[in-house]
Chain A
Amino acid sequence: MTTSSRSGVVARLVRWRGWIQAAFLLVWLDPLLLRLHTVCSPVFHCYSCPLATFACPIGVLANFSAIHVFPFLAVGLLVVIGALVGSLLCGYACPFGFLQDLVGKIPTPKVHLPGWLGYTRYAVLGGLVLAVPFFWGEGHPLFFCRVCPAGALEGWLPNATKAAIDSGVFVWANPLKLGVLVFVVVAMFVKWRPWCTLLCPLGGIFGLFNRGSLLVLRYDGHACSGCGQCSRLCKYDVLPGGNVNNTQCIRCLECTKCEAIRVGCALGRGSNGEQCGPAGAIRQRRERKGSRLYP
């Protein structure tokens, strides 16, 4: 194990991550009742939520695909954010990621799944967000918003509850949407961030930028003793020692507690962490194989 000597800023960011997520929550929950729905946010928060400051970028991509219009604004915003920090907003700003982190703190046994399952996010993005709306329109039962768990939790649940209080009639969401919501909520208890690591199309988009963003993680194979600490620090099934700028990484920066992994700038010197010291990834994988369950 290597001792930590991280820069003070990163160490403080990691220590205060929960509070930073909570502060961002205030931004997305429209405390000033501005309802700026002409602008996309860079996080996964449903615009049907009675408290949503901005429009959801995934809802916008899906709906624009359905009307065959290229969403220059939404794409531009995601590219700019991705080019600057990769998936850092997943780790520090997204309310749906924060919710999963909070539920994950409930001490139930957590399973680890192979990282390659994260590629299903691209199937969701290509299929339900882009192709289904493009070819079959917004009325199709697999149109992404019709199955989205954030839409169910943040849009349907509060609005149906309010309608039930006003009119006495509770309107249920469609069974598929309810099923996905129940699945994701149950999964939050047994896996860290199941939605983010397996299914979220927005996390998939940001993950694509991890290798090409200004903010990068650097892995120093020479400082790595192969102790596997970084893999244990990563709750989200990324193997930081193998490829620290992985598309699966949500940039929580927890693994930077090991001094072999540092936050850097793509314009500066040093590797982007694609390579791994001989003691690194191979030994970590071997170790991970033997422990599928985390306490």
Chain B
Amino acid sequence: MAGRVLRASIPIVLLVAGAASIAAGVKFNTHEVLAQIEQKQSAPKDLPGGPSAMWMQRGTAGQQGPQYIATWLKETEPQLIQEVTVGGLRLAEGGKIERTYSGDTPSLCPT
């Protein structure tokens, strides 16, 4: 009898745990991702935390090209899943997550 109750309770407990994990993934599992976001206007002279370090100019000096600003984005777990399907995330120095691309999302995972 006790064995049967135990056997019947295992899948129920697993179902509840699985559903709770899904809910946690959708609701709470948010992470900061360092992304290079294309910026339309020119770089401002002063940005808090080191202006020149925050800005990247594509191409050689003096050339006009898209400008990118390093930005921390909050991404939910579904967004992280979408990013990894194109090989779009890696672990940077210091344990931070960063995008492997700047500008448009790649269409394919490089592996």
- A residues at B contact (CB < 8 Å): 37-40, 47-48, 55-56, 59-60, 63-64, 66-80, 82-84, 137-139, 143, 145-146, 148, 151, 155, 159, 209, 212-214, 266-267, 269, 272
Contacts and interface: CB of A to CB of B under 8 A. Distances in A.
Nearest to A85: B11
Contacts of B95: 68
A275 to B, nearest CB: 12
A39 B18 contact: no
7 contacts: A39-B81, A55-B84, A60-B85, A73-B77, A83-B12, A266-B7, A269-B4
A148 B108 CA distance: 16
Interface string B1-25: 0001001101110110111111111
Interface in B59-111: 77-82, 84-85, 87, 89-91, 95, 97, 108-109, 111
Given A38-B78, A272-B7, A76 B20 contact: yes
Given A79-B14, A79-B18, A272-B7, 12 more contacts: A37-B81, A47-B85, A47-B109, A63-B87, A66-B91, A69-B31, A72-B25, A72-B77, A80-B18, A137-B90, A146-B111, A159-B108
Contacts, number: 130
Nearest to B111: A145
B5 to A, nearest CB: 10
B47 interface: no
A55 B91 contact: no
B78 A69 contact: no
Contact of A76 (B4, B25, B82): B25
Nearest to A148: B111
B26 interface: yes
A18 to B, nearest CB: 28
Contact of A79 (B4, B7, B21, B82): B21
Contacts of B11: 83-84, 212-214, 266
A124 to B, nearest CB: 16
Contacts of A59: 84-85, 109
A141 to B, nearest CB: 10
Nearest to A69: B31
Contacts of B7: 212, 266, 272
Contact of A80 (B22, B80, B91, B111): B22
Contacts of B97: 67, 69
